A and B are shown apart, each in its own frame.
Chain A
Amino acid sequence: AQSVTQPDIHITVSEGASLELRCNYSYGATPYLFWYVQSPGQGLQLLLKYFSGDTLVQGIKGFEAEFKRSQSSFNLRKPSVHWSDAAEYFCAVGSGVNNNDMRFGAGTRLTVKP
């Protein structure tokens, strides 16, 4: 079965600084990859997803992610972080068959310093 690793449990960045959240996946075929954001007390909101084609994917709120097959990675980036970006971020991988095979990483909590 596929799996997802988010190596960083907690990251702190200053407002205005750039951000990169790491995600590594394990899956034998071409994966379906997702990034979700969860604000405190809220459900998960989809930021972006990758199925095929261009390996650089643009999402909402100024986020982007790059699929690198050779590194089995799908890192999330933002050039300038805003205080409202403080949240927990989840990377997820789908099996290519159906959504019930989707696996989530443990999450990375982002703190933004003023």
Chain B
Amino acid sequence: NAGVTQTPKFQVLKTGQSMTLQCAQDMNHEYMSWYRQDPGMGLRLIHYSVGAGITDQGEVPNGYNVSRSTTEDFPLRLLSAAPSQTSVYFCASSFNGGSGNTIYFGEGSWLTVV
């Protein structure tokens, strides 16, 4: 059981470049989300989805786009990367959006924008 899989694990971008962080889960979870982790700030929610075709903004959505065409996949797009987006990104999923459901995290994607 692979759980939540993120690619790439490491990426260096130049300012203004675009890229997509991929996320896939094989647990048939309805709820998926993206967080960013910055030193001293814990994890902050970027975007989330409660099912295929449905997405919404979290705490820090600016500069990021998402889509959810299938239950399994939830890619995160950076349209024009900025140094402020240097961070560690985590994709996560849970059975549904109900609070209290265990959230399963991927191993993270380290992104550096120069």
Contact = CB atoms under 8 A, between A and B. Distances in A.
Whether A and B are associated in the same complex: the answer reads: yes
Interface of A: 4, 9, 32, 36, 41-46, 49, 51, 90, 92, 94-107
Contacts of B40: 9, 106-107
Nearest to A52: B100
B42 A101 contact: no
Contacts of A101: 99
Nearest to B9: A41
Nearest to A106: B42
Contact of B31 (A4, A9, A46, A99): A99
B42 A44 contact: no
19 contacts: A4-B42, A43-B107, A43-B108, A44-B43, A46-B102, A49-B102, A94-B100, A95-B99, A96-B99, A97-B99, A99-B33, A99-B97, A99-B99, A100-B45, A100-B56, A102-B99, A103-B42, A106-B42, A107-B40
A103 B58 CA distance: 11
Contact of B99 (A43, A45, A98): A98
Given A42-B107, A90-B43, 17 more contacts: A32-B99, A32-B100, A41-B108, A43-B105, A43-B106, A49-B100, A51-B100, A90-B42, A94-B99, A96-B99, A97-B99, A99-B94, A100-B48, A100-B97, A102-B45, A102-B99, A104-B44
Interface of B: 4, 31, 33, 40-45, 48, 50, 56, 58, 90, 94, 97-103, 105-108
A9 B103 CA distance: 24
A105 B40 CA distance: 9
B61 to A, nearest CB: 11
